Structure 1
Amino acid sequence: MSLGPVEYMVIEFPGNQFKGEIIPALREVIDAGVIRIIDQVFVRKDDRGNVSVMELKDLQKDAAEAFAPLARDASTLFAEEDIEKVSGIMENNSSVALLLFEHVWATRFRDAVLNANGRVIAGERIEKERVDAALAWKPEEQEALEVAP
């Protein structure tokens, strides 16, 4: 099976307070065929910095029920090294959802580029703050988006 572009995202919930508000937005883009969750892991860090990894079955019932339909085809692709990196950037007393997802929308475009003998030679997600700064650009405060070659 050929996948579209794959990306990971780490979403932190300070104070270990997950309210489930992201679930409807995720469900919307999954149901529309925009993305597909490939893997998901939940990490918790207590106030002393102790880390625990939780699978879907380890979450509180409401959170587990909310996330379960979003990753019907989930694999186990995240490695221990990935968890270590994430735990290194987490704040104490927080939880994160580590999501690996496919950009399903881009598969047809990728195939068209390949069929045209084209190739993507650079690409990077640009942080919202940098885009906002560029959109609010004033000549005296110009800040480049720093597109990498």
Structure 2
Amino acid sequence: MTDRDVGPIDYLAVEFPGARLEGDGLAALVDLTDRGIIRILDLVVAKVEEDGTFAVVTLADLDGDGSLDLAVFEGVQSGLLDPDDVAQSAALVKPGNAVGLLLYENTWAGPFVSAMRDVGAEVIASGRIPAADVAAALDALEAAES
């Protein structure tokens, strides 16, 4: 057991069509980090070539506008993700696209888990319900109420 509150660790693999990292996603990621909701443990971007091979892209000026897009995450590497994880994620995306692999700690949950342990409780399971399943269930509920 560490002296630090540790929250659950999650990962996301995101496919970027045409290997273009655009939109407000980067700003949202910085905001979540700045507010202490999550802590980025690993952030890797790999571009998948037409022949299926891939190359890890240095976190730099990803959109070509002259500014370093992910400077705040430059060098973030916990060692929890290994080359096999990147290869498996790259195999999930279409050639010509890129995959972003994000490993993060849910820092908001750390103090809660520690407080539960202080009274003898233990987290015995955790899980994730896919967003598509939640949306489908809510759509079905809404349809049933109509």
Q: Smaller-chain TM-score range? A: 0.7 to 0.9
In terms of mean alpha carbon deviation, does 77-86 or 104-113 score higher? 77-86
How far, CA to CA, are the matches of 1:114 and 1:93 in structure 2?
47
1:10/1:86 contact within 8 Å kept: yes
> Does residue 42 of structure 1 match 2:53?
no
Q: Structure 2, unaligned stretches of length 5 or more?
A: none
What percentage of residue pairs aligned between the two structures are identical?
32
Note the C-alpha offset of 1:61. Answer: 5.9
Note the C-alpha offset of 1:70. Answer: 3.8
- Give the counterpart letter for 1:98 in structure 2: L
| Deviations 1:26-49, CA, capped at 9 Å, x for gaps | 111111110011111111102221
Partner of 2:126: 123
- Give the counterpart letter for 1:111 in structure 2: S
TM-score when scaled to structure 1? Answer: 0.80
Partner of 1:12: 15
2:45/2:98 contact within 8 Å kept: yes
Q: Structure 1, unaligned stretches of length 5 or more?
A: 142-149
Partner of 1:114: 117
2:14/2:101 contact within 8 Å kept: yes
Q: How does 1:69-148 map to 2 (within 5 A)?
A: 69-70=72-73, 74-138=77-141
Change in Cα spacing, 1:74 to 1:80, as seen in structure 2 (3 Å) is closer
Aligned-partner SS, 1:33:
coil
TM-score when scaled to structure 2? Answer: 0.81
- Give the counterpart letter for 1:30 in structure 2: T
> Runs ≥4 in structure 1, deviation > 6 angstroms?
none
How far, CA to CA, are the matches of 1:101 and 1:62 in structure 2?
27
How far, CA to CA, are the matches of 1:41 and 1:62 in structure 2?
20
- Give the counterpart letter for 2:125 in structure 1: A
Change in Cα spacing, 1:31 to 1:58, as seen in structure 2 (3 Å) is closer
Note the C-alpha offset of 1:64. Answer: 7.4
Q: What CA RMSD, in Å, does the superposition of the two structures yield over aligned residues?
A: 2.7
1:53 to 51, 56, 71: 56
How far, CA to CA, are the matches of 1:86 and 1:64 in structure 2?
27
